[in-house]
Amino acid sequence: MAITPALLTNIVDAFEQLTESLLTFDKQLSKSHLAISLPSKELDAFTQQQALEQARYYYSNIWHSDDTDGRRTQSCYGLVGANRETLEAAAKLNTVKDKLRTSVGLLQKSELNTASEQLHQRSKTLAITLNNQGLGRIHLKQCYRHIPLLDSTPHNVRFSWYNSGRSIKKLSAENAMQMLLKLDTSQPHVVRQIEKLSPLHKSTKMAQIQTQVPVVRANIAWKTDDNNWRRLAKNCPLPILTPLLDEAELPEHNLLTSTAPTLRNRAQRSDSLIDPEPFLPSLRIHLYRK
């Protein structure tokens, strides 16, 4: 499916809806006098107004910064008290975020179905079009991510650093060979890996492993009527909106160090399905154990 003006229009329209919903949410939040707790790098904690401005910045930041890695997202955990109107505005904003993601996803699929040279030309045209619409510096990941919100006030929230995450992509030896051949095959270390991979059957299952950046996770707990606990765990790239009444305090919670603790070397599980030693180091590709 070719890239059509209609597809581009859908993206621009979805982005305009995003900005409108974001402005509505931000305006609603800006009037809040409810309690907020965000981590502070300074010795003194934020005042309520400073914390509010900081939260609004992170919620509204959907742009690439010139001095940061565009593949990274700016994140901040914390708790933000919210009234019903703010929660409803956040829920609507999350719905619009999904619509933008769907629109962009359709466009990407259309590009993948075109010939490579056409794709290159159309991608350049797309970039120009988006820049003309003011969309050239959009950070799509920051556009897509939902504002985390809760349906009721929890009893406590426990934040913790999670730095053992990794993504695993399954692929075949044939896929791996195609990836190797795209590298500089004049380099000796690439040649050695090609020779190492060649004897394997093309359908041999392999795994490409990518270590993920540390994230903050929240373990949220509600005490139920029967004195049991309902629990929820979720990642926190943005402060969590929690229902709060006027003058009420935030749920019991903790604050973390500003940076993740050093990753400890963990013992490899003997029953792991993936060989811990990379078979193709240049591509972070491992074999499955037999």
- Going by the DSSP 8-state scheme, the letter that residue 223 receives in this structure is E
- Name the nearest CA neighbour of 35 among 286, 224, 243, 270: 243
Which pLDDT value is given to residue 22?
Answer: 94
Q: pLDDT per residue over 29-73, tens digit each? A: 999 999 999 987 665 677 889 999 999 999 998 877 655 555 567
> Which residues make Cβ contacts (< 8 Å) with residue 11, sequence separation at least 6?
100, 103, 104, 107, 130, 135
Candidate from 87-101, 192-206, 239-253, 271-285 with smallest mean pLDDT = 271-285
Q: pLDDT per residue over 94-135, tens digit each? A: 999 999 889 888 765 555 444 334 444 545 555 565 566 555
Tell me the C-alpha distance between 8 and 144, whole Å: 18
> Which residues make Cβ contacts (< 8 Å) with residue 237, sequence separation at least 6?
73, 75, 76, 77, 145, 215, 216
Tell me the C-alpha distance between 40 and 50, whole Å: 10
Which domains are present in the chain?
5-153+237-245 (3.50.14.10), 166-211+271-287 (3.30.54.10)
Tell me the C-alpha distance between 252 and 247, whole Å: 15
Whole-number Cα distances in Å, 192 to 84, 184, 186: 62, 12, 11
- Name the nearest CA neighbour of 280 among 231, 209, 217: 209
Q: pLDDT per residue over 172-213, tens digit each? A: 999 999 999 999 999 999 999 999 999 999 999 999 988 777
For the beta sheet containing 229-235, the strands, ordered from the edge strand earlier in sequence to the opposite edge, are: 229-235, 215-223, 156-162, 252-253
Which pLDDT value is given to residue 181?
Answer: 93
Amino acid occupying residue 283? L
Q: pLDDT per residue over 150-180, tens digit each? A: 999 999 999 998 876 677 889 999 999 999 9
Q: What is the mean pLDDT of the chain?
A: 83
pTM more than 0.75:
no
Q: Where are the alpha helices (DSSP H) in the chain?
A: 5-30, 48-60, 84-112, 116-132, 140-144, 173-181, 188-197
Q: Is 50 exceeded by the pLDDT of residue 265?
A: no
For the beta sheet containing 240-243, the strands, ordered from the edge strand earlier in sequence to the opposite edge, are: 36-37, 79-82, 240-243
**Residue 270, burial from CB neighbour count under 10 angstroms (0-12, 13-18, 19+):** exposed
Tell me the C-alpha distance between 126 and 16, whole Å: 17
Residue 4: pLDDT band (50, 70, 90) is: low
Percent of the chain with pLDDT strictly greater than 90: 53
Contact (CB, 8 A) for 157 and 220: yes
